[in-house]
A and B are shown apart, each in its own frame.
Chain A
């Protein structure tokens, strides 16, 4: 491990090397594209959060508060469309995958830089179309656009929004092509498959899922657009078409899509756990293979979204069985991460807090998925708030938590600045507590029978107390999402400069300066070490030395403790 000196103000990096808006908008540099994505993804996330806030506000009273029923339908649909298609599918791969995949494998750039830039423009075009649809009045059939409502009867902006989603699908596909070819073809000498960070494995599997699944939803949504715009009947039951066919084709993608959302998050968590427990991830090979298994099995379970759709019961049995099977690789990962923590040198810094939160929240989300995967209980629980709570546990408690964890972990590398660590730790706790207060009551109220996507529940006023708890929690969660926007932006302005490796982590990205130079490496590295190459003895000794330093400096109180800790790590270098 080489300790790099802190970059001097005059040192060129990918941010300051080329100036001007044009150099950013026409860039081929995967790091700049990742930053472009970060900005746009954050923008869409906040839009979707506004919609979420409106939903939660509206549900505090059994007969509604401010929204009409039609408007409420549009609000939850826009929350779903924006969050799923413009945030969850895109965020981790296009921000952290784009930024770090080439660096982690020791490449200078992605295989196809211009295709990478195109993917961002496609994302923006699709996102703008979706926004235009929302501004024009929105869609009101839910983000799932079930036919025949969306194809025949909905008089909202389905065509506009679906065209936007279609275009974002292509953005996804181009990103996937880049990841696959880059991982296969551009690894540095010595970087064998089993020396790859698990982050790379995760993104590779994600890319495979993207390539195989996205075109199916593309054609399905396109057919709905054709039905509306060109009157081509495909799912029209009056003419003998089958609306459930839409559901089959839609979920054939949308179930693998949730693996597109969670596999990159798994990758981040593997990195965080390894580097903050300062130990090689337990069962590296198992995690790598289970990632591929999830990607593969994920294509075989789409029918568990359709148990009550008049799908054949016998088909449902098959789907139920395979859904239970697909839980196994995820469980393997959770067990392995937990085993990594055993007798490890755990540093409870803010990214680690997010990672630990992830393990707990994802486990709850995954376990509740089993209730939904078994047909008998699903009949009772489907289309209730139980489902809503389940997928928010895995999506927000899972993907979003991992996104925040990765953002905090890699922020010093991407921007060259350190943020306020104490505030970040507090934020992690706020997010965790706020999240649980928001979504745990939803399990209960769903079990009690509250349907999802319902505006009014005045026939069951006993639901109100849970909804109010949920809304209260969402307020805290919102604070937890807003705070990083502030302290991370503040760090850009006057944060302390980061060294190459402020966390003392392992990985090729930590051996180059923060922020990295445009070509990543001056020379392509030759990889000789295994991945997560922490030596337990060294770790123990350094930990003791660290504690001694911290103890000696604790008393004067002249510096803030979070500055203190960060600077100690910086000086330590390891």
Chain B
């Protein structure tokens, strides 16, 4: 940024940038509608799209609606519509790095591909053990799925 440092240009000047009251009410109503939508969608099992199972679609829809709501709040209520470029960069940067942090899940996602030599005979289930840690059901308490009964993390 090779601009003059004193931001004399007033694109950060909020005083002249107010949202009309009607816009605020409109955003509120839209947020309520989206909330109703997300509640409704959670009770329906959405159909699968191609290889993606329906349950994943449900989750994507829920997160998607929440993202839209968040975007409305950020853009209108929080005034990013009128904010300077620097403030907007920060908003984007924050969510970007958050997204990056979800790279941690890559570890767990790829563990099941690692074969651990010598663990094949340890286990009643065919196919050999992977690097995933084994999970046992708690003593005396019912487990949720038959796989757990056999000592496998449910997938």
- Which residues does A use to contact B, with CB under 8 Å? 105, 184-189, 191-194, 212, 216, 237, 240, 242, 244-245, 248-249, 252, 299-300, 303, 310-315, 318
Contacts and interface: CB of A to CB of B under 8 A. Distances in A.
Given A212-B97, A310-B131, A312-B131, A248 B6 contact: no
A189 B5 contact: yes
A248 B2 contact: no
Nearest to A251: B104
B52 to A, nearest CB: 23
A249 B113 CA distance: 23
Contact of A191 (B5, B94, B97, B111): B5
Nearest to A309: B107
Contacts of B107: 244, 248, 303, 311-312, 315
A32 B30 CA distance: 51
B101 A216 contact: yes
A185 B110 contact: no
B106 A240 contact: no
A212 B93 contact: yes
A312 B94 contact: no
5 contacts: A185-B7, A192-B3, A212-B93, A310-B133, A312-B108
Contacts of B97: 212, 299
Interface string B83-95: 0001000000110
Q: Helix, strand, loop or mixed for chain A's interface?
A: helix
A315 B103 CA distance: 9
A242 to B, nearest CB: 8
B94 A212 contact: yes
A186 B6 CA distance: 7
Contact of B100 (A185, A194, A300): A300
Interface string B22-36: 000000000000000
Closest 10 CB pairs of A and B: A187-B5, A312-B110, A314-B110, A312-B111, A315-B107, A248-B104, A212-B97, A312-B107, A192-B2, A311-B107
B114 interface: yes
B114 A299 contact: no
A193 B1 CA distance: 6
Interface in B65-116: 86, 93-94, 97, 100-101, 103-104, 106-111, 113-114
Contacts of B104: 245, 248-249, 252
B135 interface: yes
Nearest to A524: B6
B117 interface: no
Contacts of B6: 187, 189
A212 B94 CA distance: 7
B86 A184 contact: yes
Contact of B114 (A185, A192, A212, A312): A312
B126 interface: no
B83 to A, nearest CB: 13
A315 B5 contact: no
Nearest to A306: B107
Contacts of B135: 240
Contacts of A184: 1, 5, 86
Given A212-B94, A240-B135, A299-B100, A315 B1 contact: no
Interface in B1-57: 1-7
A315 B93 CA distance: 24
A256 B86 CA distance: 23
A315 B106 contact: yes
Given A216-B101, A303-B107, A315-B107, 14 more contacts: A105-B5, A184-B1, A184-B5, A187-B6, A193-B2, A237-B133, A242-B108, A242-B133, A252-B101, A299-B97, A312-B108, A314-B110, A315-B110, A318-B106
A240 B135 CA distance: 7
- The CB with the most chain A CB atoms within 10 A, among B1, B93, B104, B108, is that of B104
A322 B4 CA distance: 36
A244 to B, nearest CB: 8
A333 B28 CA distance: 52
Nearest to B135: A240
B106 A312 contact: yes
A64 to B, nearest CB: 35
Nearest to A313: B114
Contacts of B5: 105, 184-189, 191-192
A274 B155 CA distance: 59
A276 to B, nearest CB: 29
A110 to B, nearest CB: 15
A300 B106 CA distance: 12
B2 A194 contact: yes
A40 B111 CA distance: 45
Nearest to B96: A212
Contacts of A185: 5, 7
Contacts of A303: 107
Contacts of A186: 5
